[in-house]
Chain A
Amino acid sequence: MKWLTFDEQTIPLDDWVQDGIDWLVENYREVFQSLKVPIEKTLEGLEWIFHSLPPVVVILLFVVLAWRFGGKRLAGFTAGSFLLVGNLGMWTDAMTTLSMVICSVVFCALMGIPLGIMSGRSDRFEVLLRPVLDAMQTTPPFVYLVPVVMLFSIGTVSGILATIIFALPPLIRLTSLGIRQVHPELVEAAVSFGANPWQVLRKVQLPLAMPSVMAGLNQTIMMALSMVVIAALIGAGGLGGPVVQGLNTLDIGLATIGGLSIVLLAMVLDRITQGFKK
């Protein structure tokens, strides 16, 4: 009755997982390596844009976006934040982080919005998806950091993959919620006028779910930024770098300016995307 006394481990799940990952790495590493190609290319493109653009142009671009979606005050705040980040010597890292965040959010949107729509329209799919999302949101990132590195090797792309795992669930959940919140009478009215399922989605459900989807995107951006430091642990560049380095060498000053830059970037991106909803 070993399994009732709990004196020793009777289910060697840890070994199974270890063996499973080892087996995957041994046999399918190339498959996983090729999976990361689209992310790699997108990231390279984004980084190239943000690093080659003169800082003034990047600042202007964000100030215009801030003005358009948030108004004068946000434009001022954006200009101030970016100037501060630049003058703290964090500009290059900030641009890397910005590329990573945008790249993560693009892939989150590509996966999350369709999954959210499916889960919003099918109860069965939602029931299947829910435990997966729960696991994604509650598993500490350090747990999946190692397998991700083993399968995809160290670097920024692995950081982005970990970020996607972490930042995807709120977008799926909020998209699904948005679809479900559309008044059933409106869907019924659309159907009564001969709308097919695709028309119902495109003409009624999606437009009305848009505020919720936007809130999901906003959450995804914020969560992606909060992953920046953890991603730096597996070799992703950007603003997480100085923070990790500062922690390792007890250089509190360095960690602080890295952290401050992340916070400023987060606030700017948050306020601008909040404006999308309106």
Chain B
Amino acid sequence: MAMNSEVKIRIEKLHKIFGPHPEKALKMLGDGLDKETIFQRTGTTVGVHDASFDILEGEIFVVMGLSGSGKSTLVRMLNRLIQPTSGKVLIDGQDVATMSDAELLEVRRKKMSMVFQSFALMPHMTVLENAAFGLEMAGVDKVTRSERALEALSQVGLDAYMDSRPDELSGGMQQRVGLARGLAVDPDVLLMDEAFSALDPLIRAEMQDELLNLQEKHRRTIVFISHDLDEAMRIGDRIAIMEGGCVVQVGTPEEILQNPANDYVEAFFRGVDATQILSAKDIARKTQVTLIRHPGDGPRAALQRLAQHDRDYGYVLDAKQRLLGVVSAEGLHSVIEDGGDSKDISRAFIEEASVVQSTASMQEILPEVTARPWPVPVVDEQGRYLGAVSKNLFLKTLQRSHARQNGTEEVAP
């Protein structure tokens, strides 16, 4: 997803080493030694190794990885629940890793809040008091904080439960309170650490929708930790994949699905239904003949170009790359024969030829691709031609993702 947003959080060469001699371990990392060797020699554990990436304002940025890959450590360095060993965490240009304690408290109280996997609600407080917790820490007076907490609770549909205790609520409801607690302080950045992982699948999907809804109404920067690929695909604008403390790839779900950086990333995407994730623009290729419509260019010129490239179909564009129509060699022939020296190519346009939008999934364009003998043209919102999807191309993409899914399951005879 192309976004013209500004960088909200910039992470630069961030390291976290747990254990007694972080400097030694850092040096050994610099010398190219791996985690296991370093652990054996120094007794230190590399939590996060050399992470650098940007998180953009208003996006949902998912950090994905297996347990032990360092994703929880990484997110805890964003609000310095864990002190980084080295590197920078710049939030609006301010380095969290080195700021004073007073500044850090301000950032935690006003700019960032966190939602936890285990909900971490205070059992001795009511739902309302829990939602107001961040505001209470910030010293907001009781009336105001109750008001704002109630507003946050109503955003997640729990205002009626304000006087209940957390243990009287179901898991899903408890996490809504956790979410309300995060929202009540009106933060720029919401950190969500496996926030929905403890919920059962139905409730989880519901919470994901809820989060997307909230995001629709009020865009925040959300850093979402997950080990669940479906979740990452569903809610993530961009995904960072972590392995053994390293960030191995950052990109949109489509980018990562199409070009996995290594086997680890690929393994993650095994079992993912490519037809749901890939959209028309991801697979469209500009290998077809395009004909720019110029005054004076007629059917004859078009036919000649098709013959040159040995193609049966051509795509007619205007000067701004907008698709005007699809022509076939056959159609051009008959126009030439009928109208003698007619200059109007539009008479040769195939009437049934329709376009598909760039964002349509492979699943959605399948009927069109199979029904037409010509490659189906793909256009963006402005009607500009992005390429075409042939049956051949479609099948090849399917085959590739299928091979990837079954890659390791193939047993030698």
Measured in the bound complex, the distance between the Cα atoms of B133 and A194 in whole Å is 10
| Interface members, chain B 67-116 (any A CB < 8 Å) | 79, 81, 105-110, 112-114, 116
The reply to whether B106 and A194 form a contact with Cβ atoms under 8 Å apart is yes
Known contacts A204-B122, A207-B124: does B116 contact A195 (CB below 8 Å)? no
Q: A193-B114, A196-B105 are in contact. List 5 more A-B contacts (CB 8 A).
A: A185-B116, A190-B133, A192-B113, A193-B108, A194-B105
Total A-B Cβ pairs within 8 A: 57
What are 28 residue pairs bridging A and B, where the CB atoms are less than 8 Å apart in the complex? A185-B120, A188-B81, A188-B116, A188-B120, A189-B114, A189-B116, A189-B120, A189-B122, A191-B108, A192-B79, A192-B81, A192-B108, A192-B113, A192-B191, A193-B109, A193-B134, A193-B137, A193-B181, A193-B185, A194-B105, A194-B107, A194-B109, A194-B110, A194-B138, A196-B105, A203-B137, A204-B122, A207-B124
| Interface members, chain A 35-63 (any B CB < 8 Å) | none
* Chain A neighbourhood of B106, CB < 8 A: 194
Is B123 among interface residues, defined by CB-CB distance under 8 A? yes
- Report A213 CB to chain B, min CB distance, Å: 13
| Interface members, chain A 91-138 (any B CB < 8 Å) | none
The reply to whether A203 and B113 form a contact with Cβ atoms under 8 Å apart is no
The reply to whether B120 and A195 form a contact with Cβ atoms under 8 Å apart is no
Please encode chain A, from 187 to 212, with 1 for each CB lying within 8 Å of some chain B CB and 0 for all others.
01111111110010001100110000
Is A250 among interface residues, defined by CB-CB distance under 8 A? no
Is B155 among interface residues, defined by CB-CB distance under 8 A? no
Is B118 among interface residues, defined by CB-CB distance under 8 A? yes
- Report A208 CB to chain B, min CB distance, Å: 6
Please count how many residues in chain A sit with their CB below 8 Å of the partner chain's CB atoms.
17
Is B136 among interface residues, defined by CB-CB distance under 8 A? yes
The reply to whether A192 and B114 form a contact with Cβ atoms under 8 Å apart is yes
Measured in the bound complex, the distance between the Cα atoms of B123 and A204 in whole Å is 9
* Chain A neighbourhood of B116, CB < 8 A: 185, 188-189
3 nearest A-B pairs in the assembled complex, by CB-CB distance: A194-B109, A194-B108, A189-B120
Chain A, Cβ-Cβ closest to B117: A185
Chain B, Cβ-Cβ closest to A184: B120
* Chain B neighbourhood of A191, CB < 8 A: 81, 108
Measured in the bound complex, the distance between the Cα atoms of B80 and A188 in whole Å is 11
Measured in the bound complex, the distance between the Cα atoms of B110 and A195 in whole Å is 12
* Chain B neighbourhood of A88, CB < 8 A: none
Please count how many residues in chain B sit with their CB below 8 Å of the partner chain's CB atoms.
26
- Report B389 CB to chain A, min CB distance, Å: 47
* Chain A neighbourhood of B112, CB < 8 A: 192
- Report A47 CB to chain B, min CB distance, Å: 37
* Chain A neighbourhood of B105, CB < 8 A: 194, 196
Is A186 among interface residues, defined by CB-CB distance under 8 A? yes
Measured in the bound complex, the distance between the Cα atoms of B129 and A207 in whole Å is 14
Measured in the bound complex, the distance between the Cα atoms of B133 and A204 in whole Å is 11
* Chain A neighbourhood of B81, CB < 8 A: 188, 191-192
* Chain A neighbourhood of B134, CB < 8 A: 193-194
Measured in the bound complex, the distance between the Cα atoms of B137 and A169 in whole Å is 33
The reply to whether A195 and B122 form a contact with Cβ atoms under 8 Å apart is no
Most buried by B among A193, A207, A208: A193
- Report A179 CB to chain B, min CB distance, Å: 14
* Chain A neighbourhood of B136, CB < 8 A: 203
* Chain B neighbourhood of A186, CB < 8 A: 120, 122
- Report B18 CB to chain A, min CB distance, Å: 16
The reply to whether A193 and B118 form a contact with Cβ atoms under 8 Å apart is no
Please encode chain B, from 188 to 223, with 1 for each CB lying within 8 Å of some chain A CB and 0 for all others.
000100000000000000000000000000000000
Please encode chain B, from 124 to 149, with 1 for each CB lying within 8 Å of some chain A CB and 0 for all others.
10000000011011100000000000
- Report B371 CB to chain A, min CB distance, Å: 54
* Chain B neighbourhood of A207, CB < 8 A: 124
Measured in the bound complex, the distance between the Cα atoms of B81 and A192 in whole Å is 7
Chain B, Cβ-Cβ closest to A207: B124
Measured in the bound complex, the distance between the Cα atoms of B82 and A192 in whole Å is 10
* Chain B neighbourhood of A204, CB < 8 A: 122
Measured in the bound complex, the distance between the Cα atoms of B185 and A208 in whole Å is 24
Measured in the bound complex, the distance between the Cα atoms of B185 and A190 in whole Å is 13
| Interface members, chain A 207-225 (any B CB < 8 Å) | 207-208
Chain A, Cβ-Cβ closest to B129: A203
* Chain A neighbourhood of B118, CB < 8 A: 185
Chain A, Cβ-Cβ closest to B191: A192
* Chain A neighbourhood of B120, CB < 8 A: 183, 185-186, 188-189
Measured in the bound complex, the distance between the Cα atoms of B133 and A15 in whole Å is 60
The reply to whether B124 and A208 form a contact with Cβ atoms under 8 Å apart is yes
Please encode chain A, from 155 to 192, with 1 for each CB lying within 8 Å of some chain B CB and 0 for all others.
00000000000000000000000000001011011111
Measured in the bound complex, the distance between the Cα atoms of B215 and A139 in whole Å is 65
* Chain A neighbourhood of B114, CB < 8 A: 189, 192-193
- Report B379 CB to chain A, min CB distance, Å: 46
- Report A95 CB to chain B, min CB distance, Å: 37
Measured in the bound complex, the distance between the Cα atoms of B122 and A190 in whole Å is 9
The reply to whether A193 and B133 form a contact with Cβ atoms under 8 Å apart is yes
- Report A201 CB to chain B, min CB distance, Å: 13
- Report A189 CB to chain B, min CB distance, Å: 4
- Report B104 CB to chain A, min CB distance, Å: 8
Measured in the bound complex, the distance between the Cα atoms of B112 and A185 in whole Å is 17
Measured in the bound complex, the distance between the Cα atoms of B106 and A189 in whole Å is 15
Measured in the bound complex, the distance between the Cα atoms of B50 and A132 in whole Å is 46
- Report A273 CB to chain B, min CB distance, Å: 20
Please encode chain B, from 167 to 197, with 1 for each CB lying within 8 Å of some chain A CB and 0 for all others.
0000000000000010001000001000000
Measured in the bound complex, the distance between the Cα atoms of B194 and A185 in whole Å is 13
Measured in the bound complex, the distance between the Cα atoms of B118 and A127 in whole Å is 31
| Interface members, chain A 2-58 (any B CB < 8 Å) | none
Chain B, Cβ-Cβ closest to A192: B114
Measured in the bound complex, the distance between the Cα atoms of B191 and A191 in whole Å is 14
Chain B, Cβ-Cβ closest to A188: B81
* Chain A neighbourhood of B107, CB < 8 A: 194
Measured in the bound complex, the distance between the Cα atoms of B112 and A42 in whole Å is 49
* Chain B neighbourhood of A185, CB < 8 A: 116, 118, 120
* Chain B neighbourhood of A194, CB < 8 A: 105-110, 134, 137-138
- Report B151 CB to chain A, min CB distance, Å: 17
Measured in the bound complex, the distance between the Cα atoms of B134 and A207 in whole Å is 17
Measured in the bound complex, the distance between the Cα atoms of B67 and A49 in whole Å is 63
